[in-house]
Amino acid sequence: MLTRSELPENPVTLVLQDADGHQNIITTERVRGGKVRMTCTCEQGKLLGWCDHRMQLLCLRYDGVVESDDDTEFHFEDIVIGTQLADSADEVEVALTDFRAALEALHFERALALNEVGLRSLADRARDLADATTHLDVALARFRKHLAAGFA
Ligand SMILES: [Zn+2]
């Protein structure tokens, strides 16, 4: 991980476009103590203390980025790679994938007959969803904590 003084560009600004065309401005800056200060102009960020835009970028997914070049993405990666914030975003991505799969599996099981086999299978899927939900809750709390740490 590069130190703050070694970073060629800090902060870095990226623009992410939603599917409906709405553009969000994400500014990322390494601050003292290896922490990262990352802001996004979206409503979700204000309401929830985290957002999908910051998670996508921290997971190095640039599909929605507009008017960018490789240099900007390299500079962004110099700032975030190896930080606790990037690690916690990766954990949220895994937890979200598990959560969506468990939710879909439960939805599918609802079509089963209300007999012994069907009910036990439904109970298993419900337990899987409960576990995935708890994991997501913990992962998001950690992500929010590391996002907030950049402003401490
Ligand atoms: Zn956002």
pLDDT level of residue 60 (50, 70, 90 thresholds): very high
Q: Is the dihedral of CA 3, 7, 148, 57 positive or negative?
A: negative
pLDDT level of residue 72 (50, 70, 90 thresholds): very high
Number of domains the chain is built from: 1
Ligand 1 centre and the CA of 102: distance in Å?
A: 25
pLDDT level of residue 59 (50, 70, 90 thresholds): very high
pTM, to two decimals:
0.90
Ligand 1 centre and the CA of 32: distance in Å?
A: 23
Express each pLDDT in 135-148 by its tens digit.
999 999 999 999 99
Question: Cα dihedral angle (15, 16, 20, 21), rounded to 10 degrees?
Answer: 30
Q: List the one residue out of 36, 43, 34 whose CA is nearest residue 12.
A: 36
Ligand 1 centre and the CA of 5: distance in Å?
A: 27
Express each pLDDT in 22-47 by its tens digit.
999 999 999 998 899 999 999 999 89
Enclosing domain of residue 123 = 4-149
Express each pLDDT in 110-125 by its tens digit.
677 889 988 898 899 9
Ligand 1 centre and the CA of 103: distance in Å?
A: 24
Ligand 1 centre and the CA of 109: distance in Å?
A: 34
